Amino acid sequence: MVKKGRIAIDMDAVRTGNSAEKDRLRLDEDRYRFLLENSGDILWTIDLAGRWQYVTKNIEKILHFKESDVIGKTIWDIVAPEYHDEIMNKLKKRAAGDDIPAYEVVVIDGFGRRIPFDVKTSPILDNSGKIIGVQGISRDITERKRAEESAARSEEKFRDLVENIHDWIWEADRDVVFTYSSPRVLDLMGYTPEEIVGKSMYSFMEPEKVKRISSILSELIRQHKQYETAEKTMIGKKGRLVEFEMTVTLIYDEQGVFKGYKGICRDITDRKRAEEALRRAYSELESRVQERTEELQRSKAKAELYVDLMSHDINNMNMVAMGYIEMAGDAGRSGEEIVALLAKSHEMLEGSSQLIDNVRKLQRAETGNIEAAIVDLCDIIDRVKKKYSDIPGMDVKINVKHAEKNRCIVMASNLLDDVFSNLVSNSIRHSEPDTPVVIDIELSQVCSRYKPYFRVTVEDHGPGIPDEQKTRLFYRLHQGRPKATSRGLGLYLVKALVDSFGGTIEIEDRVKGDYTKGTRFVIQLPPATEGLAAFEGVCPG
């Protein structure tokens, strides 16, 4: 009995058996031979010297060698030279009883072509169990190798694409834990792929951002959508925030079970910055347009105000003056009546001229065209006292209290006279009829918000101003463009001039809580350098 691996054929039984047994064995052998010769595998046996003992006839179809051309030759005749040493070593190990795992080898066919084979072998034993040869099956793996090479090329191309593309490609499991990351993550977030894989995407995001992205992914699963695009912010190394546009798809296994996610992230940080800069620029442009519109509206309102003043007050004054002149021309009037009427006409024309002069001053104050100069505030107060203390037909007393001469110096202009002239004349004009007019003017040095100011109060004993009128008294010409009057212009001009000199003006009750006891105007003006000596011990520093 000869043992070939685990298969033993009882040759004596074949020779001595009955006819039926012989027929059965012959039939099995024919079937076995047909199966071998028509398969894609080559079955063979060699002795321990590497000489072919047996080979299936399909070798001619696969390697283009006749069976007779192979039997008796050695395996080295058809195995590629670079495999000779390797095959020799395997044959020696097999002879020594070692197991040889399957291996690959390249064979040179009848046309000189290199054909790769996958080889599996087993020992041939004699009746005593001694290894006398090797039997094997060789399978042509040309197509498999081509497929592997194609897959390798595809993988290499994919790897080149992934590693050189500007975007970051990643995969994550169903818990959003990264299972793969392309090298691009290092450039975008400062982390290597190894530092990313195994960590949750959410660990690189702020808590409030996690809720939004988690909701998007849950909705993607719920709707079985092919993909979703969203913007997300991730935290890179050293806390740097990176804005991404993420396209994510779902991963399913062969049974259609959800396994996880794969996505592409594109850095849009620069784009977001540009969009924000554009929004800011647009907002700033809108603000400037609005400011310019408001400025034009104010300019329009001022122009209309000036037109109203010219067309209304001056018109009225001129009409009254013309009326007086016409009356003076009537026959039968006495000389005294004519003189009185002409005087009134002259008074109206003077008021018209004063109004025009005030409008010019107002324009200069509001456009900043007042040239600053050193002015002695005490001199101005004294001039105003002298001007209004002697008014024919009226009992006016003006009390002035201020520092010594040449110690109340401010940076203003000669228009500062108009500020105090308007305030004093306003008090006289609104005094109680047939009642002596008393006006108190006091100048002092104060420190307001750590800055020195000359403080001038102008207070009277007249009917006063109700609280609801105080806040809008200086702005009455701005409220809905009321009809302009020369009286309204006076206090409006005062406020404009004080503002232009860097000062402030406020209205108070002379007696706190009782406006009927008179009014106090409080003006604060910053001193010129020459006037700072008056503030020694008043304003620290």
Model pLDDT for residues 365-394, shown as the tens digit of each residue: 666 666 778 889 999 999 889 888 877 678
Q: Please check whether residues 379 and 500 belong to one and the same domain.
A: yes
Q: What is the pLDDT of residue 402?
A: 83
Residue of higher predicted confidence among 298 and 296: 296
- Residue-number span of the structural domain to which 335 is assigned: 289-346
Q: What is the pLDDT of residue 273?
A: 86
Q: Please check whether residues 188 and 142 belong to one and the same domain.
A: no
Q: Structure pTM?
A: 0.42
The residue type at 462: G
Q: What is the pLDDT of residue 484?
A: 42
List the Cα angle 495/497/505 in 5-degree steps. Answer: 40
Task: Give the model confidence (pLDDT) of 239-263 as tens digits.
Answer: 989 999 999 999 998 888 999 999 9
Return the residue matching tokens 């010219």. 310
Question: What CATH number does residue 127 fall under?
Answer: 3.30.450.20
Q: How many domains does the chain have?
A: 4
Q: Please check whether residues 55 and 142 belong to one and the same domain.
A: yes
3-state secondary structure of 466: coil
> Whole-angstrom Cα distance, residue 539 to residue 541?
6
Chain mean pLDDT for the chain: 82
Q: Please check whether residues 488 and 394 belong to one and the same domain.
A: yes
Q: Nearest Cα to 45, choosing from 111, 148, 121?
A: 121
Q: Nearest Cα to 245, choosing from 234, 235, 232, 236?
A: 232
User: CB 355: neighbour CB atoms within 10 A?
Assistant: 20
Q: Which of 267, 301, 324 is the last residue of a domain?
A: 267
The residue type at 419: V
Q: Please check whether residues 58 and 192 belong to one and the same domain.
A: no
